[in-house]
Amino acid sequence: MHSVNRQFTLVKLLDGIVRHKHDTLTNLTSIVKDYVLKFQDKFQNIVFKLEWLAKQEADNAVRRLEFCTMKLEVQLEELLSAFQALQQGKLSLGLLTLTQLHFILKKKSNFVFTFGV
């Protein structure tokens, strides 16, 4: 009978230890769960911010590309106009610097005065 009492005492002791371990594990699980939920919220917030920044950067890149394309179109139109003027034998003022224009006018005026044209 003594060994049965001893076994019963051991089972009660083990039951108390198991309950304590179970309570500790439940408590730790709750703590980890709360931490994971907080971390998940922070992670989702960071992902949202990164997506927003990427979209802003993409929008800015598109705007810069549109501006550069428009600027290129204007420059091409000016270049085509200059080529058309050269084809017709006229010099476009946009292709000349002020020094070149002054030189041409000076030569032309000397030519006029020299030959009386």
36-50: per-residue pLDDT in tens?
999 999 999 999 999
**More confident site: 53 or 88:** 53
Q: Average the pLDDT over 5-13 and give the result.
A: 85
State the pLDDT at residue 117. Answer: 44
Residues written for the chain: 117
Token pair belonging to 46: 């960071």
Token duo for residue 73: 């179109």
Q: What is the pTM of this model?
A: 0.45
Which residue range forms the structural domain that includes residue 42? Answer: 2-115
Confidence class for position 110, pLDDT limits 50, 70, 90: low
- Integer Cα distance of 16 and 22 in angstroms: 10
The residue ranking higher by pLDDT, 97 or 95, is 97
Distance (Å) of CA 36 to CA 31, 41, 44, 51, 57: 9, 9, 12, 22, 31
Q: What is the mean pLDDT of residues 8-20?
A: 88
Total domain count, the chain: 1
